[in-house]
Structure formats: C-alpha cells, structure tokens
Chains A and B, each alone.
Chain A
Amino acid sequence: MSKIHVSTSINGDAVEYLCDPSETLLDVLRNRVGLTGAKEGCGSGDCGACSVELDGRLVCSCLVLAAEAEGKEVSTVEGMADGEKLHVLQQKILDHAALQCGVCTPGILVAAKALLEKNPDPTETEVRYWLAGNLCRCTGYDKIIRAVMDAAAEMRGA
C-alpha cells in the first residue's frame, strides 16, 4: 500500500509524517509521532479519550483520518503545559483529585480547554453537557466538574 505524505502542525510545531490511507489521526499521533497523550478508549467516537483540536475545533482523533490533517493545526494535551508549568486545568484536576486511572484525563483536559476558550464562565449544566462525550469509568464525574468550574473561576480572575 502506498503511503501518504502529510505536512501538518502539531502544538505549533511543523510535523511531517507518512501514513497509510486508512490510519486515523489517533494512530499516527500515538504510533508515528510519539505523542501518546491522546488515548484510545473505544475507537468509535463514544468515549472522548482521544480528543484533540483540529483547526481550533474539538474532535475525536479516532474519527479523523491521518491524511486529513494535511495543512491543518492539531492541538493535543501535550501542548497544554508551558514547559514545567502546568495549565490551570491540569493543576485543578490534580488539586481536586479528579482522576484515578487517568485514561480519560487527557481528553477531558483538551475538551475543557476548548470549552473555556469559547465560554469562560460556563454554568455547571453547560460543563456537564459539553463533556457528555468524555466518559470516565472511575471518578463519577463530580470531581472533574468541580475542577473545571474552579479552573474557569481562576482563569477569569487571572
């Protein structure tokens, strides 16, 4: 099978890769680019563990073909921290103990960041609906919601 050459931008860095036509963006991030933050929970768009932003739009990377990233901008959880300094959302997830196994956490972080960029002052209901496509089998969600609300408040203050 002939490979496709893709030039894209990932977390602000120019990246090139060769991929198979049927490979997903998630496969390429994890297996070819070495960014294993995005996780595969289901591979069918149901769990959100693979969430990334594509040209500023929150998507499931398991539902994007790697070839589609040509000329686009991809943002993953690896781009959130500023060097050693965690993003407010990352710090709040830790402070609120809003993770156990952590498989859902990268997807939740990317999704919550996308929400707060669009709506810096969401209600709890808005947070819950926005994150409805991010499944967590450990925490029962409540601490995640508290962490996101707290991060939103801090980011508004800052």
Chain B
Amino acid sequence: MRFESPDTIEQAVELLNTCDGISRLLAGGTDVLVQLRLALVEPDLIVDIKNIAGMRNITAEDGGFRIGAAVSGAEMGEHEGLVALWPGVVEAMELVGSTQVQGRATLAGNLCNASPAADSVPAMVVANAVARIVGPNGTRDCPVIDIPVGPSKTSLAKGEVITSIYLPARPDNSGDAYLRFIPRTEMDIAVSSAGVNLTIDSAGVVTQAQVSLGAVAPTVLVVDDAAKAIIGTKLDDDAISALQAACSAACNPIDDKRGTVEFRTKTAGVMAKRAALIAYSRAGGSK
C-alpha cells in the first residue's frame, strides 16, 4: 500500500486516475481505517485529501455555505453561521459516532461510504445539498441525492473527488430537523431515520417541504407524498398522520438484528412526524 498526501486537487485526481489497482481517498478515515483493520479492503493506494488547499474551510457563498470535503463534524458544530442556517444538517452530522469520531468524520466521507444508515445523508438531501466534484474531465456539480446508488456504491467515476458540499440559502421562516431511532442513547447505527425541511408563511401554513428517510431502503428515500401531506397545512393532527402513513408506506427495509421490517417501518413514520414538528418550530411556527 502506498500513502500519498498531495497539496493540490489536480495531483489527487491524477494519482487516483492512474492507479491500476484499488485506491481509496482518505478524509477523516473513520470508515477507511475500520475497513483496513477488518481487511474488508486492501488498497494499493491511499490518497489523503486533508492537505489540499481549501478542503478544510467553511465559506459563505450566495447566502448559503460551502463546506470543504475535509471539514470535520466537530468543526461544523462550532460554526455559528452554519448551525443557525442549517441546524438539521449539523445535528445529523453530530450524531455520527463519539466526540473522538466527530473530530475526524466528514460529510463527504459519510456520503461516499454510502451506508444506507448514514446519518447526514437524509438531512443533506432535504436541504437540496449539492456536491462539487473534480475529476479527470473537470469540475461538475451533482445533487447529493444522486451520489449513493446502493450500499457501499456511489455514482462517482474513477478519479473523481468531492471537493465540497454546498448547502444553499433558504427563505425566511424555514426550519429543518433530523432524527434517528437507535436502541441506545449514543454510539449506534440508525434503525430508521428521517429528515424534514420546510418553510411556512406568516400564518404558519407550510408552503414548501421535503421529507426523506434513512436506513429503510438500499439508499436514502425522498418521500414526496409525505411532503404533499403537510404542504398547505399548519401541521394539524390529520396532516401529521398523513405524513406518518406516507413515510411508512414508502419503506422497503431489511430485517436484521437491529430491527425487523415491521419495526423499521413503524419507527420511520414516527421519526418523520417528530422531525416535522421540530422543523416547524424552528421555522417559527407555534402549535
């Protein structure tokens, strides 16, 4: 195994693109090091992206924030502007692992590891987050929702690197939230999870919404029917019940030691309901 820590993105892309064997990017390493240890992967080349200029910055851009691919969860939580604009995305990232894991884990790593239970992904998807990707053919932007294509599989081509993730500006009176169900209080992988992003008008009526679910299908699910169920409402009981039912109906989970199909299906709806209520109150709505 070769270890490289290039200073420029061009060098990183070149290294990956010209490697004939197995290569892995290294961001926080909290997935990669575990996979090395368990010999799940035996790479010929590891490319550390943390010394590339700009990768460790959070920068304001067009009313939103661009988060460099090597920014850790802990750094996101310490950024007041980011926490104020997208609290749901930050709280999702802060659920990842322990304090120690937080010191290293990144959003882009969580996305590219492509676990169906990755915590930040449902939150990024409802935020309409966009990944900036640099590869052998130049730079492109791709919505986060289109990156994972199955467990441990992404749509990134050989030599492509995510350099940043962009969280856009949002209208006034908007709120987002992410919740997961785990059997413990800390340090566990989601059995089911939900992200909700919504905007309300001055009367407290929801004008736009996005709802997503994690850990209940091979990739993150966007549940349009659940969003439709709350748009035009003040999140009254009927609207909430319809959102919950739409979420449960969308689930296609696995049965394993963490949760049965029935349990995941039920709790996904409950997580969505509670996340919607938190997002509503963050948007300034009162109930």
Contacts and interface: CB of A to CB of B under 8 A. Distances in A.
Main secondary structure of the interface of A (DSSP, over half): mixed
B34 interface: yes
Interface in B4-46: 5, 26, 28-30, 33-34, 36-38, 46
Contact of B50 (A22, A59, A68): A68
A51 B207 CA distance: 47
A24 B1 CA distance: 13
B55 to A, nearest CB: 14
B104 A48 contact: no
Given A57-B72, A133-B101, A63 B3 contact: no
A132 B104 CA distance: 16
B287 interface: no
B1 A21 contact: yes
Bin the interface of chain A by size: 20 to 34
A24 B33 CA distance: 9
B29 A63 contact: yes
Contacts of A46: 187
Contact of B29 (A4, A57, A58, A64): A64
A43 interface: yes
A81 to B, nearest CB: 22
B286 interface: no
A35 interface: no
Nearest to B33: A63
Interface in B55-85: 72, 74
B29 A111 contact: no
Interface residues of B, number: 28
A102 interface: no
Given A22-B1, A65-B46, A133-B97, A45 B186 contact: no
A62 B5 contact: no
B103 interface: yes
Interface in B155-191: 185-187
B1 A132 contact: no
A57 to B, nearest CB: 4
B152 interface: no
Interface string A35-59: 0000000011110100100100111
A65 B4 CA distance: 12
A1 B2 CA distance: 9
Contacts of B97: 45, 133
Given A43-B37, A57-B103, A59-B100, A21 B3 contact: yes
A67 interface: yes
Interface in A107-128: 111, 114-115
Contacts of B99: 58, 111, 114-115, 130-133
Interface in B69-119: 72, 74, 97-101, 103-104
B34 A63 contact: yes
A68 B51 CA distance: 10
Nearest to B72: A57
A138 B138 CA distance: 54
Contacts of A24: 33
Identify which of A22, A54, A129 gathers the most chain B CB atoms within 10 Å of its CB: A22
A85 B157 CA distance: 56
A48 B99 CA distance: 9
A59 B187 contact: no
Interface of B: 1-3, 5, 26, 28-30, 33-34, 36-38, 46, 48, 50, 72, 74, 97-101, 103-104, 185-187
What 3 A-B pairs are tightest by C-beta distance, nearest first? Answer: A133-B98, A132-B186, A21-B3
6 contacts: A21-B46, A48-B100, A59-B103, A62-B33, A132-B187, A133-B99
